[in-house]
Amino acid sequence: MTLDNINRAAVDRIIRVDHAGEYGANRIYAGQMAVLGRTSVGPVIQKMWDQEKEHLKKFSELMVAFRVRPTVLMPFWNVVGFALGAGTALLGREGAMACTVAVEESIAHHYNNQIRTLMDEDPEKYKELLQVIKKFRDEELEHHDIGLEHDAELAPAYAVLKKAIQAGCSAAIYLSERF
């Protein structure tokens, strides 16, 4: 992929929002680890966080390669992500896992939309970016399943919590694509 044969607006939007999302995910896991890091679920959260660190690293590299500016909302996502992670972890292991399920389900849906967009435009032109997004989507779905395996659905008010977190994810995606 070169800079001169791409839909610049679409690629900028995709890389900016995905970078912001992976940054937010890192902050969520940091908050969860601050509360639950020394519990039995700590290693599970750490493993997912380690994958998110790799995702963030890749999107940081893509931002430089394609000269994409980060969202101006990074300081906000820093605080909100950590607060969401720590806040849900204070509900216990189930609360942290409910957060993971909600966020990862939202992100997988978001990545699928991006995959469709790039496939409709030109799958060969966006081959590298599609490979990255597909790989990360699959890893996000693994995190979703891990959350379910670790009793996410037993969190207090699970359905309400999940819907509220997903509404926040939708707002974050919308805002980070644009600002």
What is the DSSP code (8-state) at residue 152?
A: G
pLDDT of 1 higher than 60: no
Q: Is 153 annotated as a binding residue?
A: no
Q: Is 150 annotated as a binding residue?
A: no
Q: Is 105 annotated as a binding residue?
A: no
Q: Is 55 annotated as a binding residue?
A: yes
Domains detected in the chain:
8-177 (1.20.1260)
Q: Rounded to the nearest 10 degrees, what angle do helices 93-121 and 127-149 cross at?
A: 160
Q: Is 142 annotated as a binding residue?
A: no
Mean pLDDT of 131-150: 98
Percent of the chain with pLDDT over 90: 95
What would the two tokens of residue 152 be?
């996410």
pTM: 0.94
pLDDT for 106-127, tens place per residue? 999 999 999 999 999 999 999 9
Q: Is 144 annotated as a binding residue?
A: no
